[in-house]
Structure 1
């Protein structure tokens, strides 16, 4: 009986270590995504996504109604490349909440967005990722955007 209990404990510890390793890899993928984003490196950004993923943003319009805006990844890449080089922008990630189940992961990342040194908005990114050939790829990204209730 003691051997069975030790085997179960050992198996659980291996599973927890694997999830921790995957969570770190997911965080690295997202960190690398934002490094490429800030550097306007659309080639690197393209390799981090699985195909032409859909991006969505949730905001509130002037009438106080929720608005869902959708865009294709290729359009996002074009807009990033078109930002004038003399403009600065930074999306500051405030924390990471990563959950992994096998080859699927979700990362919840609250953020602040700064443009030319001025606060623009805040919100949360929700990334969905797939693990293929030991590499995490973004398959879906939705974010919220607001100007009120931010930590700044």
Structure 2
């Protein structure tokens, strides 16, 4: 009976430990994306994004009731951000929740976007990641934007 109990405890501990390690790597991946955005570092940003990642904006329909514009590819997002940035944009984030199941992770992030230290807008980003071997890559980001922020 005692060996069985020890084996069960080891299994539970190893799963919890693996979850904690994955959560750490997921956070690092998300933080690296935003650090790359702050530094306007194209390679740092692309290093976090899956090659077929999509970045979608939930509330950017042209008029209410119209379809939302198609999402950007990882390359288009990074290119657009790099041209616009000039090193003066800072998206400050707070990671609220991380859910992980095997090779799939979902991260809920509040953010505030500043340009030249002036708050432009805020909102929420839902970031989906997939584990590719030992690395977590962002496969999908959808965000909303609000102009009135606390």
TM-score, normalised by the number of residues in structure 1: 0.86
Match of 1:35 in 2: 35
Structure 1, unmatched stretches of 5+, are: none
Would you say the 8 A contact 2:94–2:110 is kept in 1?
yes
Cα 1:123–1:71, aligned 2, differ >3 Å: closer, same or farther? same
Match of 1:71 in 2: 72
1:118 corresponds to which residue?
Answer: 118
**Distance apart, 1:56 and its partner CA:** 0.5
Task: Give structure 2 stretches of 5+ with no counterpart.
Answer: none
Equivalences, count: 149
| 1:141 corresponds to | 141
Q: Whole-Å Cα distance in 2 between the matches of residues 104 and 63 of structure 1?
A: 34
1:57-136 aligned within 5 A:
57-59=57-59, 68-69=68-69, 70-83=71-84, 85=86, 88-136=88-136
CA root-mean-square deviation: 2.1
Distance in 2 between residues matched to 1:83 and 1:60, nearest whole Å: 18
> Normalised by the size of structure 2, how large is the TM-score?
0.87
Tell me if the contact between 2:55 and 2:73 (Cα under 8 Å) persists in the aligned partners. yes
Residues 89 and 114, structure 1, Cα contact 8 Å, conserved in 2? yes
Return the offset for 1:142. 0.8
Aligned partner of 1:14 in structure 2 is 14
